[in-house]
Amino acid sequence: MKSFIKIVLGSCLGVIVATLVVGLILSGIGAAMFASDSDQGSIKANSVLQLSLKDNIPQKTGNTEEAMFNFSDEPIIGQFDMIQAIEAAAEDKNIKGLYLTLGSKGVASAKAQDIRNAIISFKESGKFVYAYCGNYGYGQSEYYIASAADKVFIHPLGAVDFRGFGSEIPFFKDMLDKIGVKMATFYAGKYKGATEPLRLNKMSDENRLQIKTYLSALYESFLNDIGSSRDLSRNRLSALASELGGRTAEMALENGLVDEIKYADEVLDALREALDLDEDEKIPLISVVDYHKERDKDRNLGSNAKVAVLYAEGEIRAGKETYGMITDQHYVDMIRKIGKDDKVKAVVIRINSPGGDAFVSDEIWRELELLQEKDITVVASMADIAASGGYYIACGADEIIAEANTITGSIGVFGVIPNVQELMNDKLGIHMDTVKTERYATGVVSSFYPIGKDEAKLIQESIDRIYRIFLDRVAEGRQMSIDDVHEIAQGRIWTGAKAKEIGLVDRLGDLDYAIARAVEIAEIEDYRITEYPRIKDPMQKLLEELTSSKGSTVLQDRLLKTYFPSSAALLMEFEQLLNQSNRPMARLPFAGLQY
């Protein structure tokens, strides 16, 4: 049952896997050879920094599954490096402006707000900011970023996707019933909605309430920020969203969402004018990635003290190193390595995770506790999501800092056990029989037999026990009573701003601020930042994955995400739910958020 989705995908995609492997290796070799001959050189005078949001933005540069397939000389830049580059460019006399080339990729709320704030700070240096989109128009989150620009340009055939926030959740119960699979679900916390797609056909009232609450809070922030930059009231923007007031370039201009309608070459002419260049002069554009690489050469490597920034992003799972995932073997080893470095005085763990395996979450929590026992300051910095298991690993930190739009909380536990007896007996004609010396000799439960009352009681006791441990960890770390934690836990999801009000976080701020707080708490002055995890060369990492036991799985996942992006998240979420058998989970429910 655990490999159900993989088998289906494999049968569909297996024919082209071998061809793709050869293509990837050849393209990687070619890109690497080309990259070795390239040299960007120093930054020219009168340059314009160009920010293109064409990839999913990880927290750490290259720490994403897509990085394994990226053989160009331009790595997938992380949020921290991106913002650092924008901030440095504001002070760089050679950089005269910022050019945003945006699209409709989709950027999570907290990340978009951080990038937007960096752009506003750049403007305050007195330099110009122009934004432009191609003929597909601005995605909603990209427009939110663009709205901070001095001028927002739009392609004549473009549009502004301005429609409000929503959540669309698939439910699988009837489908499972039809194929003869019954899902036994166990959970602690009335708001813990992760199992609802397997046991219901619509959201529970509690889940609907919590999603509506945090979406409304995020949307209010979204409207207020855009309104401040575009001089439009909150109510006017809400009305425009309701009537899709940006669905054509002309409507977007008339409604004050953009400033001018132009083709790309005309926008470049506007840049030349801002730089006082002749019409035939080349604009010295430098990408944020190249600018980051140039300034990275000047990092201070001579400082004795270190602040380790540990990026924990993705699902929390058991297993070995996987980009874009938090795995126990990899992260436990990394934290222990950090603890053995006498120069490390503080650790900032930057969390961007919906949670996952409860056991793995506890392992990582404990390793961070052991760092503190060595007098190493630990500060948790929350990104877009730090919920459930993501909050678990943060809760013991000396200080927790969240973004205002972080999605956090979801303090709860659940477990899922499929029963495939009807599928095996009635659909496939397969029957199981057992011989046992003791009642539970073949396990407390089996997917081939219904779960009895006694067995169900034992499983629920296990879930409740882990939930109590979770509450205890939070109570100890936050210096609250268990009853007070339970009151705000029960799987309930909160925004970062609300989490600060109820005591789940200490302060609001970005990663820069979290580093500054770690330095202050640790009482260090001269220091340098060292980042984890270490990112390998893309070709080396890809070959490692392809030659491992899960090589075909890596390619199937990549093909699915590349050619069927709208279905990928749904299918992988369903597969993850099926794969959670016999493992207690501390994980955020799938919400299908549309920003």
CA distance 28 to 11: 27
Burial classification of residue 591, based on how many CB atoms lie within 10 Å of its CB (0-12 exposed, 13-18 middle, 19 or more buried)? buried
Active site residue 388: yes
Q: Which residues of 404-419 are buried (b: 16+ CB within 10 A; e: fewer)?
A: bbbbbbbbbbbbbbbb
Other C-beta atoms lying within 10 Å of the C-beta of residue 320: 14
> Pseudo-torsion of CA 449, 451, 452, 455, nearest 10°?
120
What is the maximum span of the chain, computed from C-alpha positions, in angstroms?
A: 89
Are the C-beta atoms of residues 167 and 211 closer than 8 Å to each other?
yes
Q: Phi/psi at 250 (nearest 5 deg)?
A: -65, -40
Strands (E), 239-397: 260-261, 285-287, 305-313, 315-317, 325-327, 344-353, 355-357, 377-387
Are the C-beta atoms of residues 554 and 321 closer than 8 Å to each other?
no
Active site residue 192: yes
Structure tokens that stand for 250 in this block: 């002309």
CA distance 449 to 19: 42
Give the DSSP H or E segment for 130. strand 128-133
Write down the catalytic residue from 104, 141, 229, 388. 388
Write down the catalytic residue from 60, 96, 192, 541. 192
Burial classification of residue 373, based on how many CB atoms lie within 10 Å of its CB (0-12 exposed, 13-18 middle, 19 or more buried)? exposed
Catalytic residues: 192, 388
